[in-house]
Amino acid sequence: MNYTFQFNVVWREFPTLLEGAWLTLQLGVVAFAFGSVIGLVCAATKSFGPRPLRWIVDAYVIFFTNTPTLIQIYFLYFGLPEFRIRWSNETCVLVGLTLSSGAYLTMIMRAGFLSVRRTELEAAATLGMSVAQQVRYVIVPHIAKTIYPALANFFIVILVMGTSIGALIGVDELTGQAINLSTINYRWLENFTVVAAMYVILTFIASIGLALVGRWAFRVKAKIF
């Protein structure tokens, strides 16, 4: 192999990659946060809502879990302009990731709802709690401890795999910045070697953060990696 690595070319543009990493982290956190809200509401609807609303939730989950996230983002980016609705490429990626993650988180949180003992819900009802209060004070603390590791792992999936889709429609997150730089300096191997290492570091940072939050907020002994 006669290839000569020139990482000094990459280090000169390292601040640009850091900007992309920061955008990657922002997209992952926001998509996961809003997706969690959607997942919680949909899981509660499937557990306590009327049948028509449960059908709507089922249709939403089936559609977004059985179609690629890339197709969903493409529809937002290329399809909405046909209806005179134009969003920025970052907004399309964020909305697409949020809706997709919301569908998957619905299934994860639904498992948490099912894990709550019926006696706990009956006791809460006896105390006069409404359904909303049962969800807030009984179910959410329970599922936070039960499914927190699954939620943390899903966040890592969004952060590492989901946000990189944005590069295909011109979002300058970490992968997008690597592509931009590689088309200029032609050091594809060096750029993506560094980016791969940066993704590992991002994952490690996110894993530590999630473990600390889990132990502090929910008393969950979440593992790092």
pLDDT tens-digit map of 101-129 = 999 999 988 888 888 777 877 888 888 88
State the average pLDDT over residues 5-16. 91
Is residue 86, in this structure, part of any structural domain at all? Answer: yes
Show Cβ contacts of residue 224 under 8 Å, excluding neighbours closer than 6 positions.
204, 207, 208, 211
pLDDT at 120: 79
Is residue 91, in this structure, part of any structural domain at all? Answer: yes
For the stretch 13-39, pLDDT in tens is 999 999 999 999 999 999 999 999 999
Is residue 189, in this structure, part of any structural domain at all? Answer: yes
Of 115-119, 194-198, 206-210, least confident by mean pLDDT is 115-119
**Confidence check: pLDDT of 149 > 90:** no
Q: Is the pTM of this model over 0.85?
A: yes
> How high is the mean pLDDT of the chain?
88
Nearest alpha carbon to residue 199 among 3, 11, 28: 28
pLDDT at 136: 79
Output 212 or 15, whichever has higher pLDDT: 15
Is residue 223, in this structure, part of any structural domain at all? Answer: no
Is residue 150, in this structure, part of any structural domain at all? Answer: yes
Is residue 109, in this structure, part of any structural domain at all? Answer: yes
Is residue 17, in this structure, part of any structural domain at all? Answer: yes
Give the CATH number of the domain where residue 86 resides: 1.10.3720.10
Show Cβ contacts of residue 20 under 8 Å, excluding neighbours closer than 6 positions.
172, 173, 174, 175, 176, 177, 178
Is residue 225, in this structure, part of any structural domain at all? Answer: no
Q: Looking at the 3D structure of the chain, how many domains does it have?
A: 1
- Rounded to an integer, what distance in angstroms lies between the CA atom of residue 191 and that of residue 134? 51
Residue 117 domain boundaries = 8-217
For the stretch 158-189, pLDDT in tens is 877 789 999 999 999 999 999 999 999 999 99
pLDDT at 100: 95
